[in-house]
Amino acid sequence: MALGLKCFRMFHPAFRNYLAASIKPVSEVTLKTVHERQHGHRQYVAYSAVPVRHFATKKAKAKGKGHSQTRVNINAALVEDIINLEEVNEEMKSVIEALKDNFNKTLNIRTSPGSLDKIAVVTADGKLALNQIGQISMKSPQLILVNMASFPECTAAAIKAIRESGMNLNPEVEGMLIRVPIPQVTREHRETLVKLAKQNTNKAKDSLRKVRTNAMNKLKKSKDTVSEDTIRLVEKQISQMADDTVAELDRHLAVKTKELLG
């Protein structure tokens, strides 16, 4: 035993430095582009800076249970011939923006005339905003009026659109005038709005899954010209982006829920 320790101390300093370097954590995964003359096209090969295995502590495992501990950060320019990651990222961001817009316009404790403006009404000329075919005004704090005198033929469609707007509104019609009673701000009304917020968030997640699936399908088309390691890394990057977007959607839902419940 003593002889072994003595021999270890006698190792060359360069070897000891290598051992020290080999246990440093890998901060990121890099991609390198190489050319294969045999096939005549570009290949992407993925490699890690130091091929070592890391063991997570019990605390880290508990914190990241169900999630990969290693994140990748691929330079979009290196894989632009395979897939446009920036475009995928923008599509995922647009899902977040659409949910935020929906929350701001349709899920408010106090319903205002402006919240009805952009309700889409299906007409013979296509979908039109309610304020394009009707004159919206506030009759009293408890009542909004929509005058359909300019487009009376769209009255039924407008009523249907208001009912299906997700704003918990129940319009009534009097000739060419649509009366929209504003629900009282009760606990039940607040909880109904929270349910609608959750439904809209789930719809946003459905849209996000479509973006992710389309990106994955596009990536698979390159499997014959790109290394398997690169495909796996880009897949992980896309999944990582989707997970981050889900977390952001949930964060906006939590904020809106707190606002609605008071």
Q: Which of 121, 206, 110, 101 is nearest to 165 (CA)?
A: 121
Residues of each domain in the chain carrying CATH 3.30.1360.40: 113-181
> What confidence tens digit (pLDDT) does each residue in 94-130 have?
999 999 998 987 787 777 778 888 899 999 889 999 9
Instruction: Give the length of the chain.
Output: 262
For residues 81 and 226, the answer to whether their CB atoms sit within 8 Å is no
Q: How far is Cα 104 from Cα 101, in angstroms, rounded to an integer?
A: 5
Residue 143, Cα to own-chain centre: how many angstroms? 36
φ/ψ of 65, rounded to 5, equals -60, 125
Question: Any idea which fold 76-107+186-261 has?
Answer: Topoisomerase I; Chain A, domain 4 (1.10.132)
pTM for the full model? 0.61
HEC states along 105-122?
A: HHCCCCCCHHHHCCCEEE
**CATH no. of 113-181:** 3.30.1360.40
> What confidence tens digit (pLDDT) does each residue in 46-99 have?
444 333 333 444 444 454 454 445 887 877 777 788 889 999 999 999 999 999
In our burial notation (b when 16+ CB lie closer than 10 A, e otherwise), range 76-99 reads eebbeebbebeebbebbeebbeeb
φ/ψ of 44, rounded to 5, equals -115, 125
